[in-house]
Each structure stands twice: as C-alpha cells, then as structure tokens.
Amino acid sequence: MISQDRIKILNNKKIIDNPYVVYWMQCSQRTEYNHALEYAIMKANELNKPLVVYFGLTDNFPEANERHYYFMLEGLKEVKIELARRNIKMIIRKISPENGALEISSFAALMVVDRGYLRIERKWRTFLAQNSKCCVVQVETNVIVPVELASIKEEYSAYTLRNKLSKRLEEFALPLNERECDIDSTDLNLPLDEYDIEDIDKAISQLKIDKTVKRVLYYKGGTSNAKLLLEEFILSKLSHYSELKNEPSKAYSSNLSPYLHFGQISPLYIYIKLMDVYIEDKKAFLEELIIRRELSMNFVFYNDKYDCYESLPSWAINTLEKHLVDAREFIYSVHELESAQTHDGYWNAAQKEMLITGKMHGYMRMYWGKKILEWSKTPEEAYNTAIYLNNKYLLDGRDANGFAGIAWCFGKHDRPWGERSIFGLVRFMNDKGLKRKFDMERYLHNIESLTYNSVIISDNEKTEQISLF
C-alpha cells in the first residue's frame, strides 16, 4: 500500500498521450520496497503503457569520487538485472541526471521521480517539473514518515522530534507489495545513448571523475549485500546492540549506512524486518534508524546551510566564537589530518579506518569530529575540514546523516554543557574517556590488521600516494 501522503505532484501539467511511463530512479537505487517504482508500475498498468526506468550517471556529482561511484555501480548493475526479471527496461545514461530526465520526458506520458533532500537533488527535480511537458509526480520512499508530515519546522533535537515521529509511524510503516507490469518493456529501443556498466572497471575508466580515492575492499554495493548484512546483524549482533554499539573494538554496527545512503535498501524494509524480531535491544537500533536518521533529513530539508558552519544554533556559534583566542596545544593542517599524522593514536586509527574501509565506527566518528574542532585554528575551519574528509572518504559521505553528525560535534541537536577552553559550552570528548570506557588497544590492533587499498592524498604543495602499513 502507498499512502497518498507519500505522493506529490510537482507541476500543473497533465498526463499526455506519449508512449511510455518513465520512472527517474536517482536516490532510491533498488527494486525492493521502492514506493516510487511500485507507483510507476501501477500508473503504467492503468494507462496501458510500458514502463521505462531511467538513471542519469553524471561525471560531476559534487565531491563524489571513484570509491563512491564503484559502490553505486555495483548496486545499479544488480538493479538492472532485477528490473529485467520484472520485465522492465532500465536505461542508464552518462549525462547530467536532470538533463537526461528532461530528454526522456519527451517520450513520457507521465514522469515519476523518487525524492532527495540535498540541495542538488531538489534542484534537479524542480528543473524537470518546470521544463517537462508532462505531469511529474514525486513519491517519497527515502524515509518512513515524510519529512513535512513529521514536522513543519527544523527540530531542535531528537527529543523534540521523537514524539512527533512516533505519532505518525504506524500510519506509514506499512508493507509494500510488488506489482507486475502488464506490458514487457525489456525489448524497447529508445533513440537515446545508453551507458554500459556491465564491466564496472571499464565503466569507471570512462568517467571523468576523481580517481585518487580507490574503491574499498570491505563493502560491495547492492541490495542483496545489504540484506545479507541485515540478516547477519539481526542474528549475531542485535541482542547485544545497546550494550556494545559504542565499543570501538567490537563489530556491532549494522554497516548499513552506505546502502541507505545510495538507496540500495529501504529503511521501511529494515523496520518491518525488525518488527518480527523479539529482542529488546532493537529499540536502540530503531532509535538510530528512525529518530536519528529522520532528524538528519529534517535538518537538511529545513536548513539550507546544512553543510556550513552557519547551520549551527546561535548558542553554539556564540560560545565557540567567545573562545577563538584560547590557546591550542596542537594545530594540524588538513593534509596532516587527512594522512592521519597527529599525536593521538586513537584519532589516527579512526582516520585510517575511514581511509581504508570507507566507514568509521560511530562512536569514533564523534571523537574524530570533536578533535578536529580542538586542533584547528578556528571552529569554521574545523567544520569545513570535517565536511571535506567526511565527504571524500566515507561511502556514506555527502549524506544527511553525515551532515547532521558533523554538526552535532559542534553543538547541533545537543545542549550546552560545562564551559571549558576552546569548546566553550559545546560537549567535549577526550582520549581519557575512550581509555576508561573501551578496550582501545584492541581497537588499534583491529585497525592495524586491515588490508590497505591505497589512496592519493594531495595538498597545495605536494601530492603523494600513502601506504599506511
């Protein structure tokens, strides 16, 4: 079932007499639990027209590099196979997504789009809606509760959003049944150039993207891999999740964030799977999946400066500015931070984890961000550095969760704490806290044992290929 509240008509155009219904898949790169896809199938059947799925592969998505593209293409390759299994043709084009969507809309009776929350994603959909000659319908399938229905404003914290989400959760947490297409579209030939991704290495080599950050060895893209990780998490980790999720030396994370970022697995699918599990600890995980994740969507939707220092609450900016002149024992350049060359072995290990695996343990991400604030000349410089490193190396970089997580390190979605040097009233973290709470020597050992896939790190003066071990 698809709630009408997930559906939004983006322009005042009509469904016209063109040969196809087109679903522009961009943020929800999956065939399972995809409300936009199921809506498109439903409309195609109602109109007695074949459905075509389009994906635009741009060379210049902001801050994306080979690491991100490889993971995404692994997933898209699987999507194309699964769509063909359901008798649906998928067209992948090497083109700016919004321009490709406009071109294919000339063949469309109706354009269906999924929803994205970042500025560029919203801009793309607005462009299509304004310039398409046919009706454009947006279907929310990226969150469980549509952002505007959860709250009409930017929320102060998880606390202020939690009750609002809880009141609407049951209404939207409904199973989604797959539909069959009445008309097979797999043999259709549209007069549009398609981009072959069968050989991913070859496809990557032909893209004009940043190739200095190589693919990771630890995570492979695609819905099937996401579902395997989810099953492993439920069977082996969930029962101790609340107790061990913050322990850096223990592997109790779900590792689903890259897959959620690319839309390779649905948050609703995860939620429904967990509803069948009678484990008390699932509450802690659902807090992350629903409350924290949808708080981050609220943040990037209502705060257009979500990737800037100016997005912080006034109390945080004021207290950080008050302590601008405080002495800083250590100040590191972006290059030193990027290459994990600080005095702090724990921080270096976290940075290396990010460089090597494309992920970082959740608790260490908090510590990582706090220390960048402490070791930078100004809080604004620190903010920009954290955004840069996060977006460059993490598979789930350039994501609402990432932007909200960095902002949290600087006071967003938090409260004032006791005043101290540099941080002011912003929450402080140090290595003593890590050593007191966790087995940090084991964490260091775990990072040292990782297999490194080299990346190239550059600054204004030099470029070097680093080998960490």
Strands 89-94, 51-57: parallel, antiparallel or unpaired by DSSP?
A: parallel
State how far the Cα of 147 lies from the Cα of 157, in Å rounded to an integer: 15
Give buried/exposed letters for 207-245 (b at 16+ CB in 10 A, else e): bebbebbebbeebbbbbebbbebbeebbeebbeebbeeb
Dihedrals phi, psi of 338, to nearest 5 degrees: -60, -40
Residues 98-125 have a mean pLDDT of: 98
- Residue-wise pLDDT for 430-463, tens only, equals 999 999 999 999 999 999 999 765 555 545 444 4
Is residue 53 within 8 Å of residue 88, measured between CB atoms? yes
HSE-up of 104 (CA within 13 Å, CB side)?
32
Model pTM? Answer: 0.95
Instruction: Say how far apart CA 102 and CA 124 lie, in whole Å.
Output: 10
What is the per-residue pLDDT for 447? 97
Radius of gyration of the chain measured on its C-alpha atoms: 23
CB burial of 99-131 (b: ≥16 within 10 Å; e: otherwise) equals: bbbbbbbebbbbbbbbbbbbeebeebbebbbee
Residues 144, 428: Cα–Cα separation, whole Å: 33
Query: Residues 416, 418, 423, 425: what is their CA dihedral angle, to the nearest 10 degrees?
Result: 30
Q: Mutual orientation of helices 267-275 and 223-236 as an angle, nearest 10°?
A: 30
Is a pLDDT exceeding 50 seen at residue 466?
no
Q: How confident is the model at residue 280 (pLDDT cuts 50, 70, 90)?
A: confident
Residue length of the chain: 469
Spell out the long-range contacts of 446-450 with Cβ–Cβ below 8 A and sequence spacing 24 or more: 446/249, 447/349, 447/352, 447/353, 447/356, 448/349, 450/352, 450/353, 450/356, 450/357
For residue 166, the SS3 value is helix
414-423 mean pLDDT:
98
Integer Cα distance of 301 and 230 in angstroms: 28
For 160, other C-beta atoms within 10 Å of its C-beta total 15
Domain extents for the chain? 307-466
Q: What is the DSSP string of 234-265?
A: HHHTGGGHHHHTT-TTS------HHHHHTTSS
- Per DSSP, helices labelled H in 16-136 are 35-47, 66-85, 97-105, 119-131
Kindly list the distances between the CA atom of residue 310 and the CA atoms of 326, 367, 405, 469, in Å, as whole numbers in the listed order.
Answer: 21, 21, 15, 38
Q: What is the pLDDT of residues 186-223, one digit of tens each?
A: 999 999 999 999 999 999 999 999 999 999 999 999 99
CATH of the domain spanning 307-466, picked from 3.40.50.300, 1.10.579.10, 1.20.1070.10, 3.40.20.10:
1.10.579.10
In this prediction, residues 130-144 reach a mean pLDDT of 98
Tell me, what's the pLDDT at 4? 96
As given in the structure block, the two tokens for residue 459 are: 């600054």
pLDDT digits (tens, 9 = 90+) for 287-325: 999 999 999 999 999 999 999 999 999 999 999 999 999
Mean pLDDT over the full length of the chain:
95
Quote the percentage of the chain above a pLDDT of 70: 96
pLDDT: is 300 or 1 the higher one?
A: 300
**What tens digit of pLDDT does each residue of 246-258 get?**
999 999 999 999 9
Q: Of the candidates 170, 172, 204, which has an alpha carbon nearest to the alpha carbon of residue 66?
A: 204
Tokens of 72: 């995404």
